[in-house]
Amino acid sequence: MSWWFLLSLPPLAGALAYGRAPFFAWAGAGLVWLAMLAWLTHWPAALTLLVLAAWAAGCAVFLSPALRRKHVTAPIFKAFRSALPSMSQTEKEALEAGTVWWEGDLFAGRPDWKKLQSYPWPKLTERERAFLDNETEELCRMTDDWDSTQRQDMPREVWDFIKAKGFLGMIIPEEYGGKGFSAFAHSQVVTKLSTRSSAPAVTVMVPNSLGPAELLLHYGTPEQKQHYLPRLARGEEIPAFALTSPWAGSDAASIPDTGVVCKGMWQGKEVLGMRVSFDKRYITLAPVCTVFGLAFRLVDPDGLLGVEADLGITCALVPHDHPGVEIGRRHFPLNAVWMNGPVRGRDVFMPLDFIIGGPKMAGQGWRMLMECLAAGRSISLPGSNTGMQKLTARAVGAYARVRYQFKTAIGRFEGVEEALTRIGANTYLSDAARVLTAGSIDLGEKPSVVSAVVKYHITERARQTVNDGMDVIGGKGICLGPQNFLGRAYQQIPVGITVEGANILTRSLILFGQGAIRCHPYVLDEMHAAQDNQLERFDKAFWGHIGYTVSSAARAMVMGLTGSHFVAVPADVAPETRRYYQQLTRFSAAFAFLADISMGTMGGALKRKEKLSARLGDILSLMYLASATLRRFEAEGRQAADAPLMHWAIWDCMFKAQNAFEGVIANFPNKFFAMILRRLVVFPLGRPYVVPSDRLGHEVARCLIEPGPVRDRLTADVFLPDNVEEPVGALEAALIATVAAEPVEAKLKEAQKQGRFRPGLLVDADVDAIWRRARDEGVISAEEYVLVERRNALRDKVIRVDDFEYDFGLRDALCEAPGLKEAA
């Protein structure tokens, strides 16, 4: 055993030293290892010299770049080029779109925690805060979700307020009359509106996301900007963007909508333009839009624009009343109020000036969309789904304290506590990821991989949170009406799961599939070198890749064998989080090696191993979510009372990441590598994480049912009506009243226990009679009775459900229908 331990030290030292003097580190480690092996196993001198000479000769080849490239790299380069699958222009643009941010550190196996802590935690400016506290608050107050549901539209005064107050122009710079808000402010507005109703939230977020304004800002001609941006900012134009077709949903690049370059009449003159046929659906705001962006494939068979026949996907801006456009019909996505519908046209002639950016941007639409997608996807759905979680945490937590069964607040039952725990921790984590990611946009990043991570995971956790909330409130949640504060959110949760890239495909194809190429420090360079037939460039990237892989394996193994206790982390992090940083560093190194081994052994087949790819994406995503949670805890001043939320969220991420590691290894096609991965690299001392403890879960659940700063921070900016006739307003008042009445309740129970008070029989179905009798018999005082009476009145408002009139004449008419009467 001691021999093998000693023999392992030089290769490990070489691996760990890689990065400073790569080749010399390995060459020296190899010589030492061979010399030790010869000495420990008593090799003859001649054999020792022969082996050392052979090693030196091999090293000499690598010392000479020309010899290495000719005799070693060239055959590898040839095989790599032949194995590399062909890539379309749209695939290339999608892979190269956006920027690599913090996820790059996690993927590379060497997260720089000082860099993470240096990212500024986003804050609103005074002007942005005023807009959130005034205009956004007022829009929430004006919105009645049940009334809008019955109308299937928002009232005219709400639409007018949205347009007049600049909600549709939050991302448009002030020079064009817009608000010029930060991405974080945009996210905060969407989040707050989503705590009230999806109708204003979606109506506001879509024009400020991937759509005409965003595309015009980045690619529009000066004339297009001057014409449209001020009108969009003032609400004179309502925009939509038409991408999805019946035959191309998640695979948006394959849209069949086509435009043919041709000549035609426009405003009384013959001009060069396009004859476009399109059939789009699921287009938000389409039924009420005045202008819409349109994505289609542009072809030029007659060479009117040049030699290229297939120009590629192109984006144009089309007025809703343009001749030939069919618009105005409506979908009902799970009966949502916000507008959504199809857009169609057949052989619609458009001048080339309709192209966003003008004729020179013909065929550049896919690149434009991919570059802008990261910003919108980082804000819209993460904001709206975090808002739903905040509302759930606030309202369901209060309900669990107010609602009694078996003479106990239901929030005290451990089964309900489990649901409350997930609600609280998921909300804390999702909000952390939302804020960190929105902040990256304000730093100038376009994090394509991270935007997919937060879109997928926040919508999935929102689904879990709302489902848990519905379980807790029970019958209150399943009866729709003005007193139901969660049912409509429950109905519409699948919308966020589906749009902007269906979650099931985002997880299995995008998170790791795109991340492996964009975030890996060498893969994209290798691909570019192979595509451009550059041997020298490939040589540098490939051997850097080899050293990086072995170094990751060695680092992961050493950290695994030592329990990661010796991993250096910044000295100024919170002491209670130090182990999380160390374990995340270890997981990051193990992931880097696992990703490389997966790509190296399976190659292009990994793309078809969607389950393995999905689990690899899970690991990367969970490390990002844990990072965001740690950053939030630091940014908010290490609030000790918030620590249970942070600890549960981190343990949940680490446990799930650990399971994802196990899922990859257990299903790895190469069983030899699977054994190496499990026993030597990833879990040499076993799996370190278990599910978060029940004790910790109890502390998290308590944060939701007790009024105070923790609950307020967790649910900051939730709209809270001051009217107790509204369900959330009633819950807020009832929670305070319940807490105030609990000592009186305890006093009464103690009197009953001691035999000083007997409640008697309940003969008139009056559940509150016991309190009047206790008052009359002097068990509680008149002042205490007032507290209980207020609690009871508010409790009754909270637990009530809606019922509606029914037209019994309709029932009687149905019963008189031919056939029914005879059947009866």
pLDDT at 23: 53
Q: What dihedral angle (degrees, nearest 10) is formed by the CA atoms of 263, 266, 268, 271?
A: -40
In the predicted model, what is the mean pLDDT of residues 236-262?
Answer: 91
pLDDT at 543: 82
Paired tokens of 633 = 């805890």
The rounded percent of the chain whose pLDDT value lies above 70 is 90
Task: Say how many CA atoms lie within 13 Å of 763 toward its Cβ.
Answer: 3
Establish whether 500 is a catalytic residue: yes
Active-site option among 500, 526, 732, 745: 500
Q: Which of 334, 293, 291 is nearest to 199 (CA)?
A: 334
64-78, 100-114, 507-521 — which is least confidently predicted? 64-78
Q: Is the pLDDT of residue 4 over 60?
A: no
Cβ neighbours of 634 (radius 10 Å): 17
In the predicted model, what is the mean pLDDT of residues 182-199?
Answer: 97
pLDDT at 215: 93
Paired tokens of 226 = 């001057």
Give the amino acid at 547: G
pLDDT at 13: 46
What b/e string do you get for 240-272 counting C-beta neighbours within 10 Å, with b at 16 or more? bbbbbbeebbbebbebebebbbeeeebeeeeee
pLDDT at 179: 97
- 458's torsion region: left (phi>0), alpha (psi -120 to 50) or beta? alpha
52-61, 401-410, 753-762 — which is least confidently predicted? 52-61
Cα distance between residue 182 and residue 129, in whole Å: 11
Q: Which of 456, 454, 401 is nearest to 432 (CA)?
A: 454
pLDDT at 20: 40
Supply the angle between the helices 694-705 and 643-666 in degrees, to the nearest 10: 130
pLDDT tens readout for residues 791-823:
999 999 999 999 998 877 766 766 666 654 555
Q: Is the pLDDT of residue 437 over 80?
A: yes
In the predicted model, what is the mean pLDDT of residues 648-657?
Answer: 97
pLDDT at 9: 45
Q: pTM score, two decimals?
A: 0.91
pLDDT at 682: 86
pLDDT tens readout for residues 295-342:
999 999 999 998 789 999 999 999 999 999 999 899 999 999 999 999
Helix/strand/coil (H, E, C) string of 634-678?
HHCCCCHHHHHHHHHHHHHHHHHHHHHHHHHHHCCCCHHHHHHHH
Direct distance between the N- and C-terminal alpha carbons of the chain, in angstroms, rounded to an integer? 87
Averaged pLDDT score across all residues of the chain:
89
Q: Is the pLDDT of residue 505 over 80?
A: yes
pLDDT tens readout for residues 461-500:
999 999 999 999 999 999 999 999 999 999 999 999 999 8
532 or 625, greater pLDDT = 625
Q: Which of 319, 311, 318 is nearest to 361 (CA)?
A: 311
3 or 682, greater pLDDT = 682
Q: Is the pLDDT of residue 14 over 50?
A: no
pLDDT at 696: 96
177 or 19, greater pLDDT = 177
* Neighbouring residues of 407: CB distance < 8 A, sequence distance ≥ 6: none
- Among 522-536, 640-654, 660-674, which range has the highest average pLDDT? 640-654
Confidence category of residue 5, pLDDT binned at 50, 70, 90: very low
pLDDT at 60: 64
Q: Is the pLDDT of residue 454 over 60?
A: yes
pLDDT at 12: 46
590 or 78, greater pLDDT = 590
pLDDT at 819: 57
Cα distance between residue 168 and residue 175, in whole Å: 15
Q: Which of 184, 194, 125 is nearest to 391 (CA)?
A: 194
